[in-house]
Amino acid sequence: MSAELKNICMQGRRNFVKTMALGLPALNTLNFGFTATKPLGVALVGLGNYATLQLAPALQQTQLCKLTAIVTGTPEKAEKWSKEYNIPKKNIYNYSNFDEIRNNSDVDIIYVVLPNAMHAEYTIRAAQAGKHVICEKPMGMNVKECEDMIAGCKKANVKLSVGYRLYFDPYHLEMRRLGNEKVYGDIRLMESSLGFSMANPKVWRLNKAMGGGGAIMDLGVYCIQGARRTIGELPVEVSAQGFIMDKTIFKDIYEGFTFMMKFPSGAISNSTTTYSSYVDRLHATTGWQWFALNPSYNAIGTAGQFFDGEIKPMNFQSKDYQQINQLDNFARCIIDNKTSVASGEEGLIDLKIIEAIKQSADTGNKVTLKW
């Protein structure tokens, strides 16, 4: 087991056995070696599906932080959330008075869960308000925005993290360990793909101005991370193709991308990301041995296997606590004055690769990446 996984998974054996026996997500009992006397307050900015179905419930189980405020432009949502989560009126903001949050001592962290085009603006404004920031992925619309967000947070002396929940998932940490430690030898080939059906032109993610380019901006982030973190290298070359099968829905963005990333060791990763078909897997092979997650990236659970002569399962729990550990880890970074493993620099890396993939798809040429 890697040191990274141990840091996240370490707890007393008795407590682990007890939570497993009860069918509870064992990792959400952890406090990373520290119990805060007062949890850090979190304000969610944007109350869409992810905030509603994943983040708010997770914040009811975190140990080092708690939901204390919301920012929404919908009065009905404000009323519902206030009742459901006991949020006082003084901690409910809209987009007109958002900057007043600087005066609220109940808020230590602002989590930006808005459409992609709004990430940079609200991350920088949150930093200017003196609050630490988690920005949902993708970090920005382009590399320049990511650089501005990092600079803005550094100038304000606040910490920045990106909402990379899978950085705290034991299956993905195990894939990283197997690849980085070369348990089965050098990785030669990987597949890292994610897609599902979102054939609705009214969804903001299909709007280029709001989403930035469709599936590659949303699902492609996972594909890129899965490959580069498993092998422990950054790609030096990408080639890509964009495709559109339904021109009535996908009018100014690609319906999907296929792309290849080449790594310094010579390993190749092939990926498909799309808004029209289901695929969800991460597979790495060193020759005749392999290790894989299928499904890999969805928010409702992960399953893994490896083959070293016979197929064997990976046995971890992953459902329900990815966001719990993500949130508590960032709170711990603030408490201990450390940089998050899911830092702004990590978000910048992914946008640099995405820009190269877009360029390759538009031009038909391979794009070289320099780090």
312: Cα within 13 Å, side-chain hemisphere = 10
Active-site annotation holder among 222, 254, 275, 321: 222
Reported residue count of the chain is 371
CA gyration radius for the chain?
20
CB neighbour class for 3 (10 Å; exposed up to 12, middle 13-18, buried from 19): exposed
* Omega prior to 138 cis, within 30 of 0: yes
209: amino acid identity, one letter: A
Q: For residues 91 and 104, is the Cβ–Cβ distance under 8 A?
A: yes
Strands across the sheet containing 256-262:
311-314, 304-307, 290-293, 279-285, 189-195, 268-274, 256-262, 237-243, 367-368
Look up 370 and say whether it is catalytic.
no
Look up 222 and say whether it is catalytic.
yes
Active-site annotation holder among 66, 137, 352, 358: 137
The phi and psi torsions of 65 (rounded to 5 degrees) equal: -150, 165
- What is d(CA 315, CA 307) in angstroms, rounded to the nearest whole number? 14
Furthest-apart CA pair in the chain: how many Å? 61
Start-to-end C-alpha separation, the chain: 29
Residue 309: which residues within 8 A CB-CB, separation 6 or more? none
Q: For residues 153 and 351, is the Cβ–Cβ distance under 8 A?
A: no
- What is d(CA 329, CA 316) in angstroms, rounded to the nearest whole number? 19
The DSSP line for 74-100 is: -HHHHHHHHHHHT--GGGEE-SSSGGG
Cα–Cα–Cα angle for 76, 81, 86, nearest 5°? Answer: 135
- What is d(CA 336, CA 34) in angstroms, rounded to the nearest whole number? 10
Active-site residue list: 137, 222
